Amino acid sequence: MKLLALETSSQWCSAALWRDGEVFAREQLAGQRHSELILPMIDALLQEAEEQLTALDAVAFGAGPGSFTGLRIACGVAQGLAFGAGLPVVGVGTLLAVAQASGGERVVSCLDARMGELYCAAFERGGGQWRTVHAPRLCTPVAAPEVDGDGWVGAGSGFAAHGAALAERYAERLSAVQPAVHPDARHIAALAVDMVRAGMALPAEEARPVYLRDRVALTVEQRQALKTLKSGRTPVENP
């Protein structure tokens, strides 16, 4: 199995080439520079591995949720490369990639969605395979998905942005918290391999990002309500 993986859903930009378990990878803190960094990263990986794009089995990308612009970049680049090389595409969930990156067996993945919200999901791993306990959702920290039992790992930027609220939400459920864990192409690649083997790859033109949210900014009233909530005051409706 040989495949290329891309991940641009967060401030990090990464690419990885998987070849029968051997992984070549590049990663950089990109800010808003994903579009200018990703193609040079891919070229460097192909040269390092001495591989041609047309010799690969698939192109994978972090499908989301995450930054709207970042998701469109990864999906668009994956589609363009795959279409040109005649390869299928695999979209891998970023919250599952966070769970994979954490190294845990029971993981609550939370990414900061801004505007006082989180992208959350919960996963358990057994026999080397992940099972979805709670599907990805957009929610506030106090409405993060409930989990049973203990020994859960909390992973992702949501725990950096809303650590206190999530610590209260999960009380004694968490055995560790890893707020710095983020989706990266190495783990996108590892997950994509199983998806390709399971027949889940799609024609390039059918690849789609997973947004979960249909708006990118708060209204003036919503911003004021969020500011009031963070200050600890009780919101008062206008007469």
Residue 194, sorted as left (phi over 0), alpha (psi -120 to 50) or beta, turns out to be alpha
Residue 213: exposure state from Cβ atoms within 10 A (0-12, 13-18, ≥19): middle
Alpha-carbon dihedral angle through residues 43, 46, 52, 55, given to the nearest 10 degrees: -130
Question: Using CA atoms, how far apart are residues 159 and 124, in angstroms rounded to an integer?
Answer: 19
Residue 108 near residue 163 (C-beta atoms within 8 A): no
What tens digit of pLDDT does each residue of 159-203 get? Answer: 999 999 999 999 999 999 999 999 999 999 999 999 999 999 999
In this prediction, residue 236 has a pLDDT band, given cuts at 50, 70 and 90, of very low
Q: What is the DSSP string of 166-211?
A: HHHHHTTSEEEEETT----HHHHHHHHHHHHHTT--B-GGG-----
User: pTM value?
Assistant: 0.89
Fold of 2-94+183-206: Nucleotidyltransferase; domain 5 (3.30.420)
In this structure, the number of other CB atoms found within 10 A of the CB of residue 84 comes to 11
What are the phi and psi torsion angles at 155 (to 5°)?
-135, 145
Q: Do the domains at 2-94+183-206 and 103-178 have one common CATH topology?
A: yes
What tens digit of pLDDT does each residue of 32-57 get? Answer: 999 999 999 999 999 999 999 999 99
Tokens 């309500």 — which residue? 225
**Which numeric CATH code is attached to 103-178?**
3.30.420.40
Helices assigned H by DSSP within the chain: 34-49, 68-85, 94-102, 158-161, 163-170, 185-197, 220-231
Residue 134 pairs with which residues in a beta bridge? 122
Lowest mean pLDDT among 2-6, 130-134, 151-155, 229-233: 229-233
In this prediction, residue 213 has a pLDDT band, given cuts at 50, 70 and 90, of confident
Query: Mean pLDDT across the stretch 119-136?
Result: 96
Token digits of residue 91: 């979209």
Give the domain ranges of the chain: 2-94+183-206, 103-178
Query: Mean pLDDT across the stretch 198-215?
Result: 92
Residue 16 has pLDDT above 50, yes or no: yes
- For the chain, helix (H) and strand (E) counts, in that order, are 7, 10
Query: Mean pLDDT across the stretch 222-233?
Result: 52
Residue 233 has pLDDT above 80, yes or no: no
Tell me whether strands 129-139 and 152-155 are parallel, antiparallel or unpaired: unpaired
